[in-house]
Structure 1
Amino acid sequence: MGVEFMKERLKNVPLKPGVYLYKDDTGEVIYVGKAKALRTRMRSYFQSPDKLHPKVRAMMNRVADFDFIVTNNEVEALILENNLIKSYQPRYNIQLRDDKSYPYIKITTGEKFPRIYITREEKDGVSRYFGPYTEVNSLRETVKLLTGIFPLRTCKTLRPRKRGCLNSDIEKCLAPCIGRVTEEEYGAVVNALIDFLEGNSADLLKKKETEMKVAAANLEFEKAARIRDQILSIKKLSDKQMISFESPYNLDLIAMHSGEKQNLVLVFKIRAGKIIAKDTFWQDRSLAENINEDMHFFFNRYYDNNHDIPAEILVEHLPSDLELIQNWLKEKVGHKVE
């Protein structure tokens, strides 16, 4: 399909929000974009080549056809754009690669009875991840201490059993496999673990200290000793958090260093005034004309499968279409994000 024919087809594209797809001569989708007004946005690609960004000009030399999808509003267009980019993996869209070289603690919150384990796998968008950690041996010790305080299952497959495993015998697993705990009771322990990993250890310490005193007063000395060991583990794990702030901030801090071909993006997750996680990404620079567009694409990809979105996100460079991004995040999490 020639350029002039595509320009003629543009006249039938509506001035409505939506997503457009550019294809090469084999029919492969090579770029997906969104627009507040489809015809206006798409027409900008067909102006004089001298006025186009070099990367855009290179792409348009390969474009042989296009398609578009009309949406009800810009937020729908943003969501659809992201889904299509993940589906087609277009050559000219920005690609985001995270650093999988370091291990994380994973809690499989998508399961009825979540488990905790160490992983280097790609994040699935449903589970909760904490890390990365630089020393795997230290991380194994951390998980061992955690399961002593929060006795979640560590087995790969949950099957009904007649009797519990060794971990249940030594009270390091609540044993949902034998029906020893309800889903609600198990969920409360999962939430307490997540709260602890997000840096909120003070309330847990007070609770455990009270439990220890009650057990001692009731002459349950073995139970009191077990709780004492849990208190020592909590303090040990809390001490491992070396960087903290005086104020109990809950925010994401995003730093982007722009290179000629790639951007380096660092995300620090700060909860209750402590840095609980750091993510590293390399973002290919494609058709973005400035760092604000790069940041927009990063927000779109990073927070699409991220359920841990705070009310405040601190960035060095604001994303383009800021109001659109804020409305999209608010729709995802149900609260205002600034």
Structure 2
Amino acid sequence: MAFNLFGKRKPEPDQPTEPELTPSQPAEPEQRRGFFDRMKQAVTRTRESLNDSLGGFIALTREVDESTLSDLEPLLLAADIGAATSTQIIANLRERALRVGIEGGTELKHLLKAELKRILDGVVQPIAHPSLPPEVIMMVGVNGTGKTTTTGKLANLLSTGLDSRTVLLCAADTFRAAAIEQLEVWATRSGVPLIKTKQGGDPSAALYDACTAAKARGTQVLIVDTAGRLHTKTDLMKELDKMRRTAEKLIPGAPHQTLLVMDATTGQNGLTQARLFTEAAHVTGIVLTKLDGTAKGGIVLAIATELKLPVVYAGIGEKIEDLIPFDSTSFIDSLLD
């Protein structure tokens, strides 16, 4: 491909000019500003890593040609954006360069941000909130991802936010030692009631009791902590399916959300485990924990491309309030500040 095809051609005067692909401007209410500041802090390590490579690359780019785009791809891969996502982004930028040209690094950065936002927003799906409470949210994921901790943080977020709702927790991870006690601690911290059974008990029985209690109390949200591994011969996915059927018998449409908890620090390795859950557990969204602990936060983009699922919440620290709703604009602006 001849290099002189890039960055040179412009539409003929009689041709309509296509609108520029520029990132949407985020609103600036206090809540959005707060999310942006916290997200910016969370992705500090990833942003610094990107700026070390991408920042200098963009600053030195005067003309975008095939060589420029070829050099850009490994920089995206280094942030754990993933091969499929990086290939898709480069292909779209190349097509744009061929059609109307890309003038220098500043425009390239704006177009890159627009591509990242398009990928993230493309997998967002409206949440099917029930017309009558309770709304049932099942938390799934392998042990070690911070699932139980995240369950407690989510209970706090939903019960104390601007649109605070009444919340009930269900300790249905009955196979991991101390999982029930751990969730009890988080329930106490967030001031949310808990339904539990004994360790080694039937998870579906605990869920049955929790669904019954939520309906009787008029609770708006029931959050269920499930097992990440079983110490029996029972298949984990079959156990999760049994729990789904139990919830649906008692509450129409339940579970209304099934959130897969993933550890951002595991990077591409976490995607393999995630695929098993998404295929068998009817996952509707991702909670990405430890986003503040990785220099490869681009895994958010890989999740969207390879799992076709949105990141709904992000864990950005160890405190009870360190779980925030994920916002694509804040994330991208923080990443490519």
TM-score (normalizing by structure 1): 0.29
Q: State the structure with bigger RCO (CA 8 A, min sep 6), 1 or 2.
A: 2
More helix by share: 2
